[in-house]
């Protein structure tokens, strides 16, 4: 299959109500991340990023897997056979789209219904939010086949989970259910599989209603301050807000202040202002 597989078929997407549903599309190979898939993913998410009709990106998977990690044949064996340049090229292609996703212009949500292994932790972490089915299985399976969890996977486990849990997870090569993944902060929530898409749709629809510039600056702030001292974060957030004041051409905060203070048509503590009304 792999020799005939067309690069453009490895990813599928559709846009509905400002939500871009992007799917890993190698179900027969459990959506393993091959070089073809990694190149196509970068292409697809790049095309979608600045479209006016895309407010949120959801990353899902076709078939029984969300993503079975890196493709052992096409990503590891075949690139190793090409020598160092082949290995580095494949790594760069994979890391490129995960990095693009970490700093994506629009909010991103991982919708994990099935297998999620090793190299899938890169995109899992790159997504701003993650929701899982109780039946999903999360594993750092690397230790089971003679490698360490590379490509950021170790860092993802340590950043998201308590140290003892991350250590056990990496050393033992045992899988976590969706519920365990939620308990240990790998994902936001876990639920029965038949409720997953509805929950993701509800969250995505709420994000779509918000001021997109504000959401972008907020999510970047959360990722950046994690690495900062308190003082650096405090200062950075002042500068970032001043940047947002310029970046947000809709002048959202003044529009919102008017709706709260003068018009009394909304309360910030109870929901989002009406961004379709532009009066300040
Ligand atoms: N790389 C390459 N091929 C993979 C793959 C991967 N990561 N994961 C699955 N596949 C392929 C299998 O080789 C098989 O190919 P074939 O039909 O040509 O024989 C096909 O996908 C279906 O996989 P199969 O193992 O039969 O499916 P399953 O539903 O019984 O089991 C998994 C699913 C995910 C548990 C199992 O495929 C697996 O352990 N995959 C490897 C997971 C892993 O360790 N990933 C980490 C890499 S860093």
Q: Where are the domains of the chain?
A: 7-208, 211-270
Q: Using a 6 Å cutoff on CB, does residue 152 contact ligand 1?
A: no
Q: Return all residues near 127 (Cβ < 8 A) that are at least 6 apart.
A: 59, 101, 108, 109, 110
Q: For the chain, give the longest Cα–Cα distance.
A: 68
From first to last of its 280 residues, the chain has per-residue pLDDT tens of 446 899 999 999 999 999 999 999 999 999 999 999 999 999 999 999 999 999 999 999 999 999 999 999 999 999 999 999 999 999 999 999 999 999 999 999 999 999 999 999 999 999 999 999 999 999 999 999 999 999 999 999 999 999 999 999 999 999 999 999 999 999 999 999 999 999 999 999 999 999 999 999 999 999 999 999 999 999 999 999 999 999 999 999 999 999 999 999 999 999 999 999 999 9
Structure tokens at 18: 């400002």
Beta bridge partners of 137: 115, 177
- Helices marked H in 25-126 — which ranges? 35-49, 78-82, 84-102, 121-126
Q: What is the strand order of the sheet 11-16 is part of?
A: 11-16, 19-24, 56-61, 108-112, 129-133, 189-191
Return the CATH architecture of domain 7-208: Alpha-Beta Complex (3.90)
**Model pTM above 0.85:** yes
Q: What pLDDT is stored for residue 264 in this prediction?
A: 97
How many angstroms separate the alpha carbon of residue 268 from the centre of ligand 1?
Answer: 48
Q: Using a 6 Å cutoff on CB, does residue 26 contact ligand 1?
A: no
Give the integer Cα–Cα distance in Å for 170 and 177: 15
How many angstroms separate the alpha carbon of residue 149 from the centre of ligand 1?
Answer: 17
């Amino acid at each position: 299959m792999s020799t005939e597989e067309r690069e453009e078929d490895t990813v599928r997407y559709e846009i509905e109500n400002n939500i871009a549903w992007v799917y890993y599309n190698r179900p027969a190979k459990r959506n393993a991340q091959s070089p073809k898939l990694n190149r196509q993913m970068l292409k697809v998410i790049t095309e979608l990023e600045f479209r006016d009709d895309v407010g949120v990106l959801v990353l899902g998977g076709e078939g029984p897997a969300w993503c079975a990690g890196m493709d052992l044949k096409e990503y590891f064996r075949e690139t190793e056979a090409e020598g160092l340049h082949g290995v580095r090229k494949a790594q760069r292609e994979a890391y490129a789209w995960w990095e693009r996703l970490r700093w994506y212009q629009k909010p991103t949500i991982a919708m994990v219904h099935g297998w999620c292994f090793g190299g899938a932790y890169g995109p899992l972490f790159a997504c701003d939010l993650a929701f899982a089915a109780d039946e999903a299985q999360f594993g750092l399976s690397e230790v089971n086949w003679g490698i360490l969890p590379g490509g950021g996977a170790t860092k993802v486990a340590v950043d998201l989970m308590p140290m003892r849990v991350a250590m056990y997870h990496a050393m033992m090569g045992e899988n976590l259910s969706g519920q365990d993944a939620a308990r240990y902060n790998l994902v936001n929530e876990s639920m029965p599989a038949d409720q997953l898409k509805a929950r993701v749709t509800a969250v995505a629809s709420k994000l779509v209603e918000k001021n997109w510039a504000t959401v972008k600056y907020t999510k970047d702030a959360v990722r950046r301050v994690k690495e900062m001292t308190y003082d650096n974060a405090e200062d950075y957030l002042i500068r970032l807000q001043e940047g947002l004041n310029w970046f947000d051409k809709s002048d959202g905060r003044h529009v919102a202040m008017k709706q709260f203070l003068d018009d009394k048509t909304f309360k910030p503590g109870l929901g989002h202002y009406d961004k379709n009304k532009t009066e300040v």
